[in-house]
Structure 1
């Protein structure tokens, strides 16, 4: 550790300097340097922690295990509710990692999200532009002269995370539908039929299916692969493990609740918080942050806090001067249910 103030990189003095070179390695959950060759990342280390094999205390409770396995057995979506930072999103990554189900498909929900966003995107504008360019260069061989060849339509369709999860496969994919409670009022109801039937249609492919070789088109998936769609329909053979998360900002319609397995996560206790810190920062961080964990638990009894705020405080106070440690931690761990 350095003397008070020496940890500051930006000093607000208006004089250029090379202080950026003193930045330590990023926190493990904000380290984007470890990516695969295609530039993607399943986020496992950032979600579960690079030291997760050390966190022996971080185990789901009996009720959590039972509800997760019930969703697996019944092929039903798992609706996970609880306060921010309770581990709702992490659960999907944990299941995918332990069961070897590949990278997690993530659909982050916002107020403008629609069912079609999750299923697929058809880029009609790009296709029209390509047709116009081909026509100008004398290469348009489409008999209709307006929509390009039927065979190329798959190049303009990309499956969304939900659509990719529903592709036929021997093993289920894991789909995280994050913060469903942030959607508009229609999306939960719109999801019902797709989650119940495990299939959906792509009208743009259905219209030209009889002109496609073997009635199939090759489309791009959400994770960058390519998949074959026959007769314009995507039908799952192994229903995906679907995790719907909610911070409890709204109630969901009874028909959706009836089709889901509902798991409520409470606030983490001391052991779970310690394991959370251990998984991301190692054993020494747990020993050095015992006071911060205790303080976090005391405050969480009357304030809405998130566990990742604790993680931020533990990491940064390890880099800051000792005299500012407690004050800096309190600045980072601000209650989420009231503006300061």
Structure 2
């Protein structure tokens, strides 16, 4: 069948969805494998599977390498700013992959995020319900210890004692409310925090096993979580707001520039192969010729190249219309 379209808008049911090609590598969720231990990330196949060639064959800019090493040496968070699509989040996964630091812990920030969300969650309601059921004679199984109702968040898990640093991605910190950057200061400076629910019972239960953000279990002693190796914390920001000087003082700052022609070509080759570089040269040059200050993300170009690759039978005007739709400037008023 020459028609690339799956949905035709004709209103007649059909099985055309069976003709869908494999997804773009960066959207292939089935490629995620199990976590097999230290040095592996179950999502690496999707996030870095095809990007491994990019990471191995195309070195990042010297300032990026220097900033990451400064953060590692100084045990300081890395604050990465830049427009959407410049690879801020990918940097955390690339470092974790190269240094075999295991799964990247991720804390996506929204306007309602609080420091407590990143540290731990205590399900007091579930515990109260189980106590009431137990008193009524119901069997609540193993859920009798307070640790069964406590789970460390991504920041709390990253601060657990470990021989090797964990990598924590605090994504889009500029989406938070005004308090969160200031609330982070003490935890980032001291590398520790206290779980008050466990402190209150420390004389009766000095050691409590709790859940972790990556599905494991960890022992917390006297209600205190204190790192032995400071994690590599990558905070990302799209530059939508300024941060307090107290936070900036505690961070290594890196401003990522949009990819240039060499980086962009290598990115396309790593994701879609050599043919995409040749066939999509016009789109690549169009991306590079965007107006000064116009915000277009690199993944928009990848989406356009992938789709036009799979629409070879479409008319040229249709291919151009698809490219226009997928590469609209992100800062254009809607």
What TM bracket, shorter-length normalisation? over 0.9
Residue 33 of structure 2 contacts residue 43 of structure 2 at CA under 8 Å; is this kept in 1?
A: no
1:73-102 CA distance string (max 9 Å, x none): 000000000111011000000100000100
| Structure 2 Cα separation of the partners of residues 210 and 55 of structure 1 | 50
Matching residue of 1:326: 320
Contact kept? 1:162, 1:175, Cα under 8 Å: yes
The 2-side partners of 1:8 and 1:273 are apart by 28
Contact 1:118 / 1:160 at 8 angstroms: preserved in 2? yes
> Hey, what does 2:308 align to over in structure 1?
317
CA distance in 1, matches of 2:192, 2:291: 43
1:29 equivalent among 26, 49, 62: 26
Match of 1:171 in 2: 164
2: distance between equivalents of 1:67 and 1:210? Answer: 44
Structure-to-structure mapping, 1:1-340, within 5 angstroms: 3=2, 6-37=3-34, 42-50=42-50, 52-53=52-53, 58-137=58-137, 152-212=145-205, 215-299=206-290, 301-320=292-311, 321-323=314-316, 324-340=318-334
Query: Could you report, residue by residue, the CA deviation over 1:14-71 in whole angstroms, capped at 9, with x for unpaired residues?
Result: 1111111111111111111123347996432333342532676531111111111111
Alpha-carbon distance, 1:206 to partner: 0.9
Do the aligned partners of residues 55 and 72 (structure 1) sit closer, same or farther apart at CA in structure 2, a change above 3 Å counting?
closer
- Measure, in 1, the Cα distance between the counterparts of 2:220 and 2:56: 43
| Residues 172-206 of structure 1 deviation map (CA, whole Å, 9 limit, x = unaligned) | 00000000000000000000000000000000111
Secondary structure in 2 aligned to 1:90?
helix
State the partner residue of 1:144.
none
Kept in 2: contact 1:105–1:161 (CA 8 A)? yes
Deviations 1:215-241 (A, max 9, x none): 111111000011110000100000000
CA distance in structure 2 between the partners assigned to 1:54 and 1:251 by the alignment: 32
- Tell me if structure 1 keeps the 8 A contact 2:81–2:236: yes
User: Structure 2: how far apart are the matches of 1:98 and 1:81?
Assistant: 22
> Does the 8 Å contact 1:177/1:243 carry over to 2?
yes
Work out whether residues 218 and 228 of structure 1, in 8 Å CA contact, stay in contact via their aligned partners in 2. Answer: yes
* Contact kept? 2:32, 2:45, Cα under 8 Å: no
Partner secondary structure for residue 12 of structure 1? coil
2:288 and 2:26 map into 1 onto residues whose CA distance is 22
Are the structure 2 counterparts of residues 254 and 130 from structure 1 closer, same or farther at C-alpha, using a change threshold of 3 Å? same
More off after superposition, 278-287 vs 35-44:
35-44
Decide whether aligned partners of structure 1 residues 49 and 274 sit closer, same or farther in structure 2, where only a CA change above 3 A counts: farther
User: Which structure is higher in RCO with an 8 Å CA cutoff and minimum separation 6?
Assistant: 1
Give the deviation of 1:208 after TM superposition: 1.1
Which segments of 5 or more consecutive residues in structure 1 lack a partner in the other structure?
141-147
With 325-334 and 107-116 compared, the bigger mean Cα shift is at 325-334
Aligned length: 326
Unaligned runs of 5+ in 2: none
